[in-house]
Amino acid sequence: MLRAKDLGEWKIIDIFHKNFEEAPDLLVPFGDDVSVVDLGKDALAAIKTDMLVASTDVPPGMTDWQVGRKAVVGTISDFAAKGVEPKAVLVSLGIPAEYSKISLEALAKGVNAGAREYGAFVLGGDTNESRDLVIAVMLLGATRKGQITLRSTAKPNDIVAVTGPFGKTAAGLQCLVDKTVRIRRKLEAELLEALYMPKARLNEGLTLSKRGLTTSIIDSSDGLAWSLHELSKSSRKGFIVDKLPTTESVKEYAKMSNIKLEDLILYGGEEYELVMTVNQEKWEEAKEAIEQVGGKLIRIGRTTRERGVRYKRGHDTILIESRGWEHFKSGDQNKETLARRFR
């Protein structure tokens, strides 16, 4: 008999999807970053739920306040990808019986801080006792028809772009798991800050959405490689990447730890950057629009008619693996990812 651990997260989701009756006139397909309900007169209600489980999603050293905040910010990142302004947060908690009052207060303050940072309010939720700390966040927001860009609408010869560098969170996780690598305290602090205090690119997402500047978009919580493959699969287009944006701090850590820089950039995850495709004729407009809200767009490649995701490195072109963390998988195929992401 097959069990959950044999199937993995994506096959489990597929089982449920196949057994759900699909709503008529579905505007956003099952599996995209958010779900929407048509309220009429061009108004859409946007809904998203996400779950954080302490034993698999919380790295060592993270405070209760940071855990509460991260649970909300990770959900808001999906709203950023669809250009939806968050309005309300509902939080359901599974709490171990021995969890202290001090920890609960810090957790609550972190949840509130995450919501208020992006203009939303916590309206309520539910609590229950559990063996592990579980935080399930539901986010509610509003948008209009025509303002949500799907994962499935990239076109050939679009520019592939991201909202920031990659690799810091993966390097931060490695700092915690491999204490044999001795690095400067300032470098360690910078990497751990990225890991413990992620930021959602909400302003960037809202700007791109309102002005219709992307042809497809996704958030990068599961890693740059995984996000590129999701866009490629949904849009049925290929991606040629010729630039892997990162920081000097990640380069320094990769050199000191003997970890491939490309692995830190492509397969880390938890960055919450936006990964998108942009029509070439709208590229300059998109760059300027994002700069006006204090962000930046980095061109990393282009789309092609030929399927697959490839990295052009000098004269060589190599395949980028469709690799990322998958819940319920704990065998050999996840060993490398476990080492990178503490899962």
Q: Which class is domain 26-144? A: alpha beta
Q: 321: how many CB neighbours lie within 10 A of its CB?
A: 14
3-state secondary structure 126-140: EEEECCCCEEEEEEE
pLDDT reading at 91 higher than 90: yes
Rounded alpha-carbon distances, angstroms, from residue 96 to 57, 133, 327: 16, 6, 21
CA distance 248 to 184: 13
Q: What is the pLDDT of residue 326?
A: 58
| Sequence-separated (6 or more) residues with CB below 8 Å from residue 39 | 45
The CATH number of the domain covering residues in 159-341? 3.90.650.10
214-267 per-position pLDDT tens digit: 999 999 999 999 999 999 999 999 999 999 999 999 999 999 999 999 999 999
Please state the rounded mean pLDDT for residues 60-73.
98
Q: 284: how many CB neighbours lie within 10 A of its CB?
A: 10
| Mean pLDDT across the chain | 91
Q: What is the pLDDT of residue 24?
A: 80
Q: What is the pLDDT of residue 228?
A: 97
303 close to 238: Cβ distance less than 8 angstroms: yes
DSSP helix, strand, coil percent of the chain (3-state; round to 5): 40, 25, 35
Q: What is the pLDDT of residue 331?
A: 42
Q: What is the pLDDT of residue 314?
A: 87
| Sequence-separated (6 or more) residues with CB below 8 Å from residue 312 | 240, 241, 242, 301
For residues 62-92, b (16+ Cβ closer than 10 Å) or e, as one string?
bebbbbbbbbbbbbbbbbbbbbbbbbebebb
- Whole-prediction pTM: 0.92
Nearest to 32 by CA among 4, 13, 15, 52: 13
pLDDT reading at 327 higher than 80: no
340 close to 174: Cβ distance less than 8 angstroms: yes
CA distance 262 to 245: 10
159-175 per-position pLDDT tens digit: 999 999 999 999 999 99
Q: Where along the chain do the CATH 3.90.650.10 domains lie?
A: 159-341
CA distance 90 to 107: 14
CA distance 289 to 82: 16
238 close to 190: Cβ distance less than 8 angstroms: no
Rounded alpha-carbon distances, angstroms, from residue 119 to 112, 205, 248: 10, 14, 32
Q: Where along the chain do the CATH 3.30.1330.10 domains lie?
A: 26-144
Residue type, 297: L
CA distance 225 to 322: 6
267-314 per-position pLDDT tens digit: 988 899 999 999 999 999 999 999 999 999 999 999 999 999 999 998
| Sequence-separated (6 or more) residues with CB below 8 Å from residue 11 | none
